[in-house]
Structure 1
């Protein structure tokens, strides 16, 4: 696998850099999604379906114009396989947390990640409902005292995350989308996010890229590296946590492996 290189100087026909484009895609799609909820004229499944479709259409059109030779893997687009022979692949989730979005909640996100050689390079995660955006080139390092909290899905927690919570004495904080959970750790509101039970690459690639840029530990639950743009985009598990909790969390997970 080729090493990750900085792509901030990449430009296409005098256009924006990769880092700028990632941020603008996350921010622009977020504005579209917020506007779709205007005056609650749409609701329920229809609202979620329209949000997914319109955010995907806009992101896809922008990438086609500004990065026509790059490959794309998206939850809301057909995977034509071209990405498997491409070094530069955008992995996106136009609307992470469709259920939360459709329910009028705030804990949903937009994920934009440029991967180079299977590694996150320039990434952005926006939380449009609360007006926040996190990017690999601007996110500050996470510091300060530990909070004693870890994030988990609302209404459900995996056996693995429950074991870590009990073993390390971390209180569970329920949050909706994967991006919203990961950014809670990046923001310093929680110390860890342990997921098992399966996701897809678009669910966590951009959050992992931003988390790594913030100095957090990111890996599979067995401690191995996270790799993207694999033939199967299924991602069984991962850990995002404060670096000082890396060993305790991985040791706790090894107890139940």
Structure 2
């Protein structure tokens, strides 16, 4: 008798396989820059949509590369995917890009896999990473192109070094992997940018929330989810207090 594939295993397998498609395209297509990024988005999305519809026909899907069909909000189980998180980094031949595959149940990110194909890694909520001791000094991740002023201000207060990096998934997984301690984002994201990273991070025992400390909610009619905090649990209260003390924009 064939054992049904678990949600955790499905997410991990699809993220890894989509990453392999993207690596082959990067190596063999002769494309680069925006043209490579566009082709990568299209091919990875087509693979994930076809695979999820075949494996979980009764579930809803929200993808960055698909039209937002709000009928999904009436479905308890919704797969939330970003076929290529960090299109710019991918097109530039960098390694700080990712593939996100997540499952939200009743609005909560419960299953997630983040593939880092450029590093040959896939991290999954089904196989939580053992956290390493905090660094000294602390390290805070920021966008390599648009560091958020709030993150810079908080980093200054806690004496953290700034670590510029590309995609949201790469930054979140850097905290999971012990390469950084805090990822505070306030510059605008969507559900597909962070659902899978949040599932992986919380499975590893990290603090995850909105920047004001409130829970992250998924499968909403409007998928805009502009801010988040992923950090070591012992740092959360201090970081959240500093964020609340910042002057209103």
| TM-score (norm. length: structure 1) | 0.92
Query: Shift in Å at residue 40 of structure 1?
Result: 6.0
Deviating 4+ runs (over 4 angstroms) = none
Residue aligning to 2:190: 200
Q: How far apart, in 2, do the equivalents of 1:145 and 1:227 lie?
A: 28
Asked whether 1:163 is paired with 2:153, we answer: yes
Asked whether 1:179 is paired with 2:163, we answer: no
Q: Which stretch of the first structure deviates more once superposed, 214-223 or 141-150? A: 141-150
Residue aligning to 2:240: 250
Contact map agreement 1:120 1:206 (CA 8 A) in 2: yes
Asked whether 1:118 is paired with 2:107, we answer: yes
Asked whether 1:70 is paired with 2:94, we answer: no
Paired residue secondary structure (2:225)? strand
5+ unaligned residues in a row in structure 1: which ranges? Answer: 1-12
Among residues 85, 96, 110, which one is paired with 1:96 in the alignment? 85
Q: How far apart, in 2, do the equivalents of 1:199 and 1:121 lie?
A: 19
Q: How far apart, in 2, do the equivalents of 1:164 and 1:178 lie?
A: 19
Query: Shift in Å at residue 14 of structure 1?
Result: 5.3
Residue aligning to 1:8: none
Residue aligning to 1:216: 206
Query: Shift in Å at residue 39 of structure 1?
Result: 4.4
Q: How far apart, in 2, do the equivalents of 1:83 and 1:142 lie?
A: 35
Query: Shift in Å at residue 143 of structure 1?
Result: 3.3
Among residues 199, 219, 231, which one is paired with 2:221 in the alignment? 231
Q: How far apart, in 1, do the equivalents of 2:92 and 2:29 lie?
A: 10
Asked whether 1:44 is paired with 2:26, we answer: no
Among residues 134, 148, 152, which one is paired with 1:145 in the alignment? 134
- The RMSD of aligned alpha carbons is 1.2
Q: Could you give the per-residue CA deviations for residues 29-77 of structure 1, whole angstroms, max 9, x where no partner exists?
A: 0000000011461112111110000000000000111101100000001
| TM-score (norm. length: structure 2) | 0.95
Q: How far apart, in 1, do the equivalents of 2:191 and 2:210 lie?
A: 12
5+ unaligned residues in a row in structure 2: which ranges? Answer: none
Contact map agreement 1:87 1:116 (CA 8 A) in 2: yes
Q: Could you give the per-residue CA deviations for residues 179-234 of structure 1, whole angstroms, max 9, x where no partner exists?
A: 00000000011000000021000000100110000000011111111111111100
Aligned positions, number: 245
Among residues 54, 57, 60, which one is paired with 2:46 in the alignment? 57
Q: Could you give the per-residue CA deviations for residues 135-174 of structure 1, whole angstroms, max 9, x where no partner exists?
A: 0010223131334111111032111101111110100000
Residue aligning to 1:10: none
